[in-house]
Amino acid sequence: MNSEQYSLLVSKAQTQVKISVKAFDAAHAQAQALDIARSLEADRFELGYGIAKQNKLSELFEKLAYNDFDHKQCYDWQGSLVNKVPAVYTLNKRFYVRPLILGYLDISKDAVVKNVCKNPLCVNPYHNQYLHEKNSKIGGGDLQMLLAFRSQGASVPQIAKALNVHRSTIYRILKDERFSSGT
């Protein structure tokens, strides 16, 4: 399938940046523009036909738009680092890449990103676990799985084995869920 080239002008306060966007069609480009603007916390954006200079940020957004990440392979960030953490400078601000990906994927900014592969340069979203709290053992998707397993009658040891955590973690989470749901 052919892709078209677009130029996205993103603005925040008095600063602007042009980002190259490749998309299947105009609707795909508009969806990407919204996601990019949200992740960069932009005030406004303009999408037009044309070519903008390709950079590390536009490459990252393109990979996210086309879901071009391998589940098994790390995607090492080739851009700038701050204290050995992948980062990018744009719109007169420093953005860490993993929270930038959170914004693009429309995952709550309150989520804590835990890199599962232990490679500090890897920004592959499949290698991240998105947690509600810093010391949480399981992420949001795993919590939904836990509750689904429990509603189907699975035992705590079975759930713990399936989620690769200790059974005390499951007991603690179930206790918290009961209190937070009011039962």
Q: Spell out the domains of the chain, with CATH numbers in brackets.
A: 4-110 (no CATH), 140-181 (1.10.10)
Per-residue pLDDT of the chain (183 residues; tens, 9 = 90+): 578 999 999 999 999 999 999 999 999 999 999 999 999 999 999 999 988 999 999 999 999 998 899 989 999 999 999 999 999 999 999 999 998 998 898 877 677 777 888 899 999 998 887 776 666 777 667 777 888 888 888 889 998 888 888 888 888 888 876 544 444
pTM given for the model: 0.73
What span, in angstroms and rounded, lies between the C-alpha atoms of 79 and 173? 38
Angle at 30 between CA 27 and CA 33, to 5 degrees: 155
Give percent helix, percent strand, percent coil of the chain, each to the nearest 5: 40, 25, 35
